Structures are given as C-alpha cells and as structure tokens.
Amino acid sequence: MKILVVDDDDMNLQMAQFILEKELPNDEIICVNSGFKCIERLQKREEFDLILLDVQMPRLDGIKTLETIRAHQMWKNIPVAFLTASADKGTVVKASELKVSDYIKKPFTPMDLTARVKKILEVRKKEKEREMKKTMAEMDNLMADLQNLGE
C-alpha cells in the first residue's frame, strides 16, 4: 500500500515516516510538506491508498487541500485522515462533509498512529478487492459477449 503524509512541520513528517516505515515495512511512505505538493503528486497520477493530511498549514490548509481532492473524479475516493493538534467544531463539521476517514491527534503516539492507519488500510484493501472482482466479472461478461458474436 502507498501512503502520502502531508505536514508543513518537518519533525512531524520525520516522526510519521519513521513510525510507519518501522510498523508497516511493506508499505511505501511518501512525505511532502504542503498541500500544493500533495496535489502535485496526485496530478502526476500517483495512486495513494491513504493520505495523512495536516489541517493547519500555510497557504493551502488541510480543508482546502481535501476540498480539491474530493472535487477531482480520480481522487475523490482516496481515504484521507486528518493530522491535527486541535479540532475546532467548524473543522470537524467541514471534514465530515468532505468524508474524512479519521482524526489522528498530534502529537501522535506510535501505537495510535499505526492502529488508525492499519484500520483505514484494511478497509481500503477490501474496497480494492471488491473493485477488482467487479472488474474481473465485467471482463468475463465482455469475453462471453465477444465469443457469442464470433459464433
């Protein structure tokens, strides 16, 4: 699985990367320090299974970044968890409207971060398996239709 961590604080990025690489050694962890760089990575058609997104960042904050993600057809279903030091009511309401997957309170503990990320990735994995089964069934139907045309 591939995780994008977005935070303007280098210490938070380093901590998250260290914890996730240690606890999820088979997953790819990519870190960027702004909402702009997050969107830039998505525009390069990189596929992420989870985005951990800081709420409070200069210029393009977490809410605006998430609005951009949810507005794009190709990105709208990527799970996003907010990394936040405090969740004011307005942020919680807006995040809920934008279908945020979870809130991870900063400073996070290794155990809490890992448990929440694993939970989101497990759901994501099941969704991808369902999508794959659906695609395979559609391909089987298409092949059967093609065979019927050839008879």
- The rounded distance, in Å, linking the Cα atoms of 82 and 105 is 8
Q: What is the mean pLDDT of residues 128-149?
A: 89
Within 10 angstroms of residue 101's Cβ, the number of other Cβ atoms is: 20
Q: What is the mean pLDDT of the chain?
A: 93
| Domain ranges within the chain, ordered by starting residue | 2-150
Per-residue model confidence as pLDDT tens digits over 47-56: 999 999 999 9
Any idea what DSSP says for residue 49? S
Quick one: fold of 2-150?
Rossmann fold (3.40.50)
- The rounded distance, in Å, linking the Cα atoms of 93 and 84 is 14
CA 107 to chain centre: 20
Per-residue model confidence as pLDDT tens digits over 62-92: 999 999 999 999 999 999 999 988 767 878 7
Within 10 angstroms of residue 131's Cβ, the number of other Cβ atoms is: 11
